[in-house]
Amino acid sequence: MRFHVKPLMTGVLAVSLFAACNADQSHGEKPADGAADSSSNPVETKKPNSDYKPAFEGQTRIKGVHTQTPLDVKMLSDGLVYPWGIITLPDGRFLITERKGTLRIATAGGQLSAPITGLPKVNSDGQGGLLDVILDPDFASNRIIYWSFSQDVPPGTLTAVGKGKLAADEKSVEGATVIYQALPAFPSKLHYGSRLAWDKEGNLFVSTGERSDIKSRPQAQQLNSALGKVLRITKEGKPAPGNPFANTPDARPEIWSYGHRNVQGLAIHPVTGDLWEDEFGPKGGDEVNRVEPGKNYGWATITYGLEYSGKKVGEGITQKEGLEQPVYYWDPVVSPSGATFYSGDLIPEWKNNLFIGSLSGMHIVRLVIENNNVVGEERLLADQQQRFRDVVQGADGALYAISDGEKGRLFRIGKK
């Protein structure tokens, strides 16, 4: 890959890309409609961890695609401290969470505000802390925001959702209150989830993890537990009307779907309105799913991954009647995190493509989706060698991404 680096200002770099493809991809032409080209090899070249076979063609290692639009990538800031979630404000700026418990506002040029305070205390040990953030649909008039975080609740911690008002001076959150707790609490520092997304009725989707421990793992399959689930709640934190288990005895009425491992990406398709998610597998078996109400997505009964020891998970099966297959999976893992569908006009060939931050994979995943199937995959910004935590579309039609770390970065990916 050829690129030119020039300073924009102190601590800010501009990277003008002359080729958008990763070095381990082939360079075949791509049709104008963004579909996979038969001459392009899969982007993944490493040996899988398991010998499991996909349930259908294209479920993994799909053909590679390549963005034809010349891209301009700018590193706007490296002043974030372990950022986790990013959302676009109505004026084109960004609201960003930092795991230690503070929010930051970033301009489209990368200038960062002082830390915004006033949130409830978080437990930032392990994978915990202040996690995702989302604006109220009426934020422009009410300035209400929602956030997810890991909260200390005996006998351990849990994923919680808070709500409050961003002060007019943007220095604090006023009236912060916890509206939902994903019970039961469990003594683990891992697998909190958790992303937030609105449905078309103004209800809030919340994803949770199953807390990783072998003891808590079975709760992903249990309807009396909020662990390992996608939940759907009102703005007040109550179970949303019409949820699939509202009339099921002993089931938590906030559950939308279950059988998830650690969902760190939620995104609404801009055309169909469908909810899509991505979640971490163990050693292999990272997944992308189209989430439907009441469906069971299989963890830990079926998986395309292995235990970290290399042993099989449970019975070592990948399919079972009544359990949903992932639309797509990775082996080895990419550690998929925050996700967004592209709906802008700046780069037309990206229309309705799904973009996912990749942590261990150190790139941004681009998936071309047609008829609910993945037909092409691309790896963007792999040359930056960053753990990408979240990605969002900006008001200008560019993509903006944050990377994990003590010197977390904010990137802009636009048209050259």
CA dihedral 241, 245, 248, 252 (to 10 degrees): -90
Q: How far apart, in whole angstroms, are the C-alpha atoms of residue 348 and residue 109? A: 23
| Residues pairing with 4 in the sheet | 16
Residue 199 near residue 226, CB atoms below 8 Å: no
| Residues pairing with 191 in the sheet | none
Q: Which amino acid is at 69?
A: T
Which among 66, 191, 260, 363 is annotated as catalytic?
191
Three-point CA angle 84, 358, 266, nearest 5°: 60
Q: Among residues 142, 148, 174, which one has the least CA distance to residue 162?
A: 148
Does 191 participate in catalysis according to the annotation?
yes
Q: Which amino acid is at 4?
A: H
Q: Among residues 75, 79, 69, which one has the least CA distance to residue 6?
A: 75
Tokens encoding 307: 């235990």
CB neighbours of residue 313 within 10 Å: 23
Cα 179 versus chain centre, distance: 22
Q: Among residues 102, 80, 84, 78, which one has the least CA distance to residue 10?
A: 78
> Residue 274 belongs to what H/E stretch?
none
Long-range contacts of 169-178 (CB under 8 A, 24+ apart): 170/105, 170/113, 170/116, 171/114, 171/116, 171/117, 172/116, 172/117, 172/118, 173/103, 173/116, 173/117, 173/118, 173/119, 173/145, 174/118, 176/118, 176/119, 176/120, 178/120, 178/151
State the catalytic residues. Answer: 191
